[in-house]
Amino acid sequence: MHYIKIKRIVLAFFFLITWSCTDREAIIDSLETEIDTRSIQFKYDKFSDAQKESEKMKRPLLMYFTSDGCGWCLKMERDVFSDTTLQNFINENFICSKVYLKRPAAVMKTKDYKKLNKSKLDFMDLYHLEAAFPTFVIFDTNSKLIKKESKYMDIQEFVQFAKDGL
């Protein structure tokens, strides 16, 4: 009798583990905290699309370059971009673009890294941008580079950077 109880517990535990491993990715993808939903509206990932919208809306373009494994980027996204006043200011005055560079640690600064990100790195070279993250660039409506910065900025610094770009 005791053996049957143990067997049931083990089977229940096995099914629970199997279920949680099978749906884990779907569950993780569906989890969204309030802080994840409040942010600057980075609507464009292609420069050409953002550039067209910038011209059409007559607003400067703010580009944000980020990469996986960038702790300072994550800190800015969580601590700075989540500020409601900052969001309103940026979203009302800029067209925003987020450029994500793939950066697996094993291939940093190798030919594979350059192949992975060729068009984005070519773009950065064209505007003399460092491959340091986070990097922020402001272009006017004619795609002329106005301001760039490659570092973590707190809310006040980021607001000042944006105001200087207007």
Q: What pLDDT, in 10s, does the model give residues 102-111?
A: 765 555 556 6
Q: Which positions ≥6 away from 165 have C-beta within 8 Å?
A: 60, 62, 94, 138, 146, 147
Domain boundaries of the chain, sorted by first residue: 1-31, 34-165
Structure-model confidence comparison of residues 88 and 5, the more confident one = 88
Domain range 34-165, its CATH number among 3.40.30.10, 2.60.120.650, 3.30.930.10, 3.30.110.40: 3.40.30.10
pLDDT in tens, 14-39: 555 555 555 555 554 554 444 455 67
Nearest-angstrom CA–CA distance, 17 and 2: 23
Q: Smallest Cα–Cα separation from 52: which of 23, 9, 104, 95?
A: 95
Q: What is the pTM of this model?
A: 0.71
Distance of CA 151 to the CA centre of its chain: 14
pLDDT of residue 129: 80
130: which 2 tokens? Answer: 């460092």
Pairing, β 135-139 against β 61-67: antiparallel
Helices and strands, number each (H, E), in the chain: 9, 5
Token pair, residue 77, equals 């996204």
Give the position of tokens 């944006």: 162
Q: pLDDT tens digit string along 137-159?
A: 999 999 999 999 999 999 999 99
